[in-house]
Structure 1
Amino acid sequence: MERLTTGCVTEQHRPTAGTGVLAGGAAYDMSSGEISRARGFVREFLTDAQSLHGLDVSARALDVAQLVVSELATNVCKYAPGPCLLDLEVDGGMLGITMWDSGSVLPTALRADPARAGQHGLEIVLAVCQSFEVRREPVGKRVRVGISLLDGPQDDPAGPTPW
């Protein structure tokens, strides 16, 4: 197991023995500077998945995963300041991204409004992910999304999407 520690950030990458699952996690004391660290953790995790474990990860998936984590982390900074846990899990051709924070308010997408400036993060996440789930925890909430790591014939995500 590889363990990296930088200040308040704890990051781990670990293959789960015998399951074909690659997992990693990081803990952040969420401030705006931590958003770029979270994106970097995702980039490093998926780059290692490719180079060290031979997993297929499309350029689209790498970009989408970083975008999604950036949007989720931004919401934590804005609405649930404090600690945040980020878990990544590759199982087959899917990347699971789970983010826990201490805020109790569940996110909801706003109605489309071309005049609205900002607050489009959840709309973006819903548009690019193959699955989305949010659930309340005894403390805070947990948001989990799924992203296809592989591309279909038109460079779109491979596999079914519920949207």
Structure 2
Amino acid sequence: MRVGYALGGNGHCIAEARHHAGAFLDQAVSDHQLPMSARARDLTQLVVSELVTNARKYAPGPVLMELRLTASVVDVVVWDSDPTVPAARASDPGRIGQHGLEIVHAVTEKLLVEQERVGKRITARIALADIPRSDTTGPASMQRPTPVKRTAR
């Protein structure tokens, strides 16, 4: 399943994006009996919220969001007009705000940033099932390699 949305830059687009994501996942579950954990649904809406918030905050103009679903993952893809590649800041428990990318990186299986001719596209991949962990070395997100950053061709 795949769906795309053009979101205006107004103050309602973040809530609108979360609503679209929830409705899309609900439809996948009801129409296709796709097994999905409550955690995956919540994380998808969190990632949508963080990525759309950043796009709205740092890029002028509209935001495009695409949701792609397979049997095991959901990809949240957000495009905005700012070509600047975001970077997670160093951990600072005293810092107020600006933790969005850190959060997205921590809860996703994969995070990819691609510069486009105009703007950038960020793809975040979230597992639909809760994966049982048999190790004690830390969160799965800490075991992933650093996200790949590419430039448009």
TM-score tier after normalising by the smaller chain length: 0.7 to 0.9
> After TM superposition, what 4+ stretches of structure 1 lie above 6 angstroms from structure 2?
none
Measure how far apart 1:104 and its partner are: 1.4
Structure with the larger RCO, 1 or 2 (CA within 8 Å, 6+ apart): 2
- Give the whole-Å Cα distance in 2 for the aligned partners of 1:57 and 1:48: 12
The CA distance in 2 between the partners of 1:136 and 1:145, in whole Å, is 15
Matched, 1:47 2:33: no
How well do the aligned residues superpose, as a CA RMSD in angstroms? Answer: 1.3
Counterpart contact for 1:61–1:147, Cα < 8 Å: yes
Give the fraction of aligned pairs with identical amino acids, expressed as a percent.
45
1:33 pairs, out of 2, 12, 17, with: 12
State the AA in 2 paired with 1:25. G
1:94-122, Cα deviation, whole Å (9 max, x unpaired):
11111111111111000011111100000
Of 93, 100, 104, the match for 2:79: 100
Question: What amino acid maps onto 2:96 in structure 1?
Answer: A
What secondary structure, in the 3-state scheme, does the structure 2 residue paired with 1:27 have? strand
1:129 aligns with 2:105: no
Ranges in structure 1 where 5+ consecutive residues have no aligned partner: 1-21, 155-159
Letter of the 1:53 counterpart = H
How many Å apart are 1:83 and its aligned residue? 0.9
CA distance in 2, matches of 1:33, 1:62: 21
Structure richer in strand, relative to its length: 1
1:1-163 to 2 correspondences below 5 Å: 22-153=1-132, 163=144
Deviation of residue 30 (structure 1)? 1.9
Q: Which amino acid letter does the alignment assign opposite residue 32 of structure 1?
A: G
Which amino acid is 2:78 matched to? M
SS, match of residue 30 in structure 1: coil
Displacement after TM superposition at 1:32 (Å): 2.3
Total equivalences in the alignment = 137
Secondary structure of the corresponding residue to residue 124 of structure 1: helix
Mapped to 1, the partners of 2:56 and 2:86 lie a distance apart of: 13
Gaps of 5+ in 2: 134-139, 145-153
